[in-house]
Chains A and B, each alone.
Chain A
């Protein structure tokens, strides 16, 4: 759809900024900048790449749940969907990535099983039970065959995230310390593959496992670099107040308050069953967060925070400022990039320092 030389600027604003960031990354490498600084730039670059892929692709935006086995990922998705579709158990169960896609007009469900040998088996069904059975057969340790990926299509009228064009991804439990040839190892690899195509990352942990080393190491190695992410805790395992839960999660994972959401999926399912208020379960709050995050991934909403972040970096460390020409490219592309971009440009212009040339 969009093509990169369409506007009078040479590149679209997201690309222009990405080029700037990339230049700075190179400079940071040359200058041997502190590791924290390099990571900061890398995170920014990844974020821009995500916004760009969002901008380019017509595919729906992926919202994925990640974390160690038995952290309630599948249970949470069931709650978001309002169906008991994904298999759950107290033991590690999910073995593959399950993609849940909305198809407005579909009466029943379609389960598309992508097997390891490249074959795709489509199954059509009218009952949610048989969807659950298929997912158990191909996507859980209870089944004999493990699919590489499963796609479920259905109307899912009650799911706000799907309604807004999102796709939900359920992933197998993942740990850092896995041996490549074990079930957990293969499952971790699948989860990491799914992570690379996820736009909104939800890291799931259990409230009583905040402080658990394996959760923490996985978070540090694979999740934190994708910041901002949401840490979702299954709050029913927590005996104290909400504030303490938030505090301990923020402290453990080094995230801000707005990025921690305590949710009880079980409570939400119970409330749904009797038609009670979903509010106390925390599920609505999570949905709102996810929708907001999807929104921020659009260039219109997501660009400015990125520019501001970059502005901070080059202000703090002048040696990382790229060449004049690249700044000019960004300015031009912002000016020509439509109303939202012009607004961003105005914001940036307030800090005249930013355009000072090397």
Chain B
């Protein structure tokens, strides 16, 4: 799986590392940092594919086949054992020390046990760990899994219909993190009542991500096959999900062929005919096109490549014009440097004026949003209260997930009405800030055009590219963080909120570029509003109902929450302003420094100066070509 993507990823990582090194050498530490940050993000990115199925639905066989294992040492295939914990299979490259080992996380212990991969059985089978007496929570297996390509993580989940009830909790925690879910159905026992009710539970969250795989068809009499297919489709449909495609897979033959070491042609044939190849291809296609991670990752990678393009292009043409200037006398450069000072002052003035205007516009927009949200949230809270009073939910659902989800859904609906406007208005504010600074920059460099010495440098021009990508980048961070926060909030809403802010501050996307930060803020705002407000209001409602003071408590809760939200949103504009401030300063400094360097090397008649410039120009050209190729592959892939 993910053959093409794996190659692209590897090349991109190499390219970004080289580009970052180059950026540092041409005194663009910010760009270098950005590239490195992006590379780290890309390197750490893995798609999670979760396998779900009741006991004896062919899960372990398919798992081993997808892992490319030729033995069953890891995931037990025999019928008498069933997996007792959630197990994540990762390529050993994903391990901090690149070693093959397993980490076993036990209940209540933050540090995992580290055991050899072969010893995993001791923890994951009913045979060796009956009723999960060892209190295993989850296991990470880092091993040689050729087919994962360091791009995919397979998540094996305990059989849902098994007697051990404690598994379900784990499963519910892990599912939200999956990019795709494989739901296994055995042809000889197609969709039983317990599976049906599980599908119904999945209905709300998992519409698109589920791949239905029908196994064990060889155990079904040929005359029953059409009825089995029809039955499965019907059950899925009646449970509220849809199944465009039912993958029919019989992995055992392929698994056996690999185990007994059949020749490559035979294995390739079985790979095709078993339906495994098709499933893998569809999973790959789906994940690349639809994964939430990619809505951030791929645009961000494109933006980084653009940035490398802009940087290398600018450096090459700077070097070109510096080479041309070698014949000129240094007096001209002296004069240019003097003029630059004055123009830099003007640029700074333009920038400060623009950022101040931006700050005010941003605050206006945020304040309007918060007012609107408050009134909508109040109305939503009233409706929820009414529903609770009417439906007699109190005492049964109150305090449980149900009520929180009710509130979250309601708030999500309200926020989703307001978000497009907020998005648009904040984007307009940032856009006009960018336009004004661009104009200022043009003035700064155009008046120097006669010398041909200064060309627009990378970062400012690059900003445009990054900005467009930024939307994706932030929405990605926003989505990921929101999902994560959602997950965390189940246990601790306050902690989740803090974690969310940490993730935003530390998470790479924010400092990629100003616009990215902006979009991030907006989208994260939605997440914050929902998780924050939902748990807050849920708690308040519970208290309020107990104390019989519903309206005023809920209202004051909403007001406090809103004030907090507004403050946090306003704070975000400071970050964008800060980024523009630094960018302008950095560009001015670099331009002046470059001219001074040039002046000095001409004056000192340094014999190395010319070859060094030529080498830099050539390296920049190479980088430019490389990023163009990569961008092309990326386009092909997507």
Interface residues of A (CB under 8 A from B): 68-70, 89-91, 175, 177-178, 184, 206-209, 211-214, 216, 237-240, 244, 248, 252
Contact = CB atoms under 8 A, between A and B. Distances in A.
B6 interface: no
Interface of B: 54-56, 78-80, 82, 126, 161-163, 165, 187-190, 192-194, 197, 220-221, 224, 227-228, 231
7 contacts: A90-B224, A175-B193, A207-B79, A208-B56, A212-B163, A239-B79, A240-B80
B224 A89 contact: yes
B162 A213 contact: yes
Contacts of B189: 70, 90, 206, 209
Contacts of A70: 189, 192
Nearest to A210: B80
Given A209-B55, A240-B78, A90 B193 contact: no
Given A70-B189, A177-B193, A214-B192, 20 more contacts: A68-B192, A89-B224, A89-B227, A90-B187, A90-B189, A90-B221, A91-B190, A91-B228, A175-B194, A177-B194, A206-B189, A208-B56, A211-B55, A213-B161, A213-B162, A214-B161, A237-B56, A239-B79, A240-B79, A248-B80
Contacts of B231: 91
A176 B619 CA distance: 72
Given A89-B227, A90-B224, A248-B80, A214 B56 contact: no
B163 A91 contact: no
A239 B220 CA distance: 17
Contact of B197 (A89, A177, A209, A248): A177
Contact of B78 (A89, A209, A212, A239): A239
Contacts of A209: 55-56, 189
A211 B163 contact: yes
Contacts of B163: 211-213, 216, 252
Contacts of A207: 79
A134 to B, nearest CB: 20
B161 A212 contact: yes
Nearest to B79: A208
Which 10 A-B pairs rank lowest in CB-CB distance, beginning with the nearest? A208-B56, A91-B231, A214-B194, A175-B193, A208-B79, A212-B161, A213-B163, A213-B161, A216-B163, A90-B224
A348 B220 CA distance: 55
A207 B227 CA distance: 24
A81 B227 CA distance: 26
Contacts of B187: 90
A69 B227 contact: no
Contacts of B56: 208-209, 237
Contacts of A89: 224, 227
B220 A90 contact: yes
A168 B231 CA distance: 29
B27 to A, nearest CB: 65
Contact of A69 (B188, B192, B197): B192
Contacts of A212: 54-55, 161-163, 194
B52 to A, nearest CB: 15
Nearest to B160: A213
Contacts of B162: 211-213
Nearest to A71: B189
Contacts of B79: 207-208, 237-240
Contacts of A213: 161-163, 165, 194
B236 to A, nearest CB: 14
Contacts of A211: 55, 82, 126, 162-163
A240 B76 CA distance: 14
